[in-house]
Amino acid sequence: MSLDFAISWEVFEIIWINLLLSGDNAILIALACRQLPVRQRRWGVFLGALGGIVLRIAFTLVIVQLMTIPYLKIVGAALLLIVAVKLLIDETEHSDVKAKPNLWSAVGAIIMADAVMSLDNVIAIAAAARGSTTLIVFGLLLSVPIVMFGAGALLKVLERFPLLVWAGAGLLGWVAGDMAAADPALPTYVHVTDHGTLELGLSIAGCALVLVIAFVVAIYRQWREDQRA
């Protein structure tokens, strides 16, 4: 794999993961700003999204540093697998998000909620960037205008083509496996002669695990609904 392709793939991973996991944040922004005048609403969306991205960059850089500690990448990979499965099987409600009466209260609410909601996003981006600060900043900044101006269209596309969500969840599983393979504690328990083979194997396993678990849960839920009918 050439260096240019590897970098392009990592940037693609960061942008796609950020967009996929920012659906809740986009809905939050829309709900928090819905009672503002049109001009203030635009500023609320812009400042809220920008503040959230700045916080996300800062949190991600901290996570990248922490990931050098043995076992933390394995823990992060496990959390990422859970996030990927929940992406497919959860239905999140946003009716409790209150509209804010003025610009700065809306911006503050967006940033605070984004900080609370973004742990999954931060772990996923840190894994996809493979420790590169440049890729983290570049990928997140590049996704800012898409999140701000295209979030509504993105959500409609994902609703119309649910296979894209499954593909995104599979990508998260892939990144989780890749992340686990890079944990410095792994050689203590696994004799690694070819790290590339191990990385590929764990990536495929992570992707398959997410899709199989989500598929089984979907089948079970459908069976429960049929039993109730």
pLDDT value of residue 204: 92
Task: Say how far apart CA 199 and CA 188 lie, in whole Å.
Answer: 16
pLDDT digit of tens for each residue in the chain (229 aa)? 455 656 677 777 777 777 777 666 666 666 667 667 777 777 777 777 777 778 878 888 888 888 788 888 888 889 888 888 887 886 544 445 455 567 777 777 767 766 666 677 778 877 887 777 787 777 777 666 666 666 566 667 767 888 888 888 888 899 888 888 888 887 777 776 766 788 888 989 999 999 999 889 888 888 888 888 6
**CA–CA separation, 44 and 33 (whole Å):** 6
Give the separation between CA 199 and CA 180, rounded to whole angstroms.
8
Q: Distance (Å, rounded) from C-alpha 138 to C-alpha 15?
A: 9
Radius of gyration of the chain (CA): 19
This prediction has a pTM of: 0.72
Segment (H or E) for 170 = helix 162-181
pLDDT of res. 212: 93
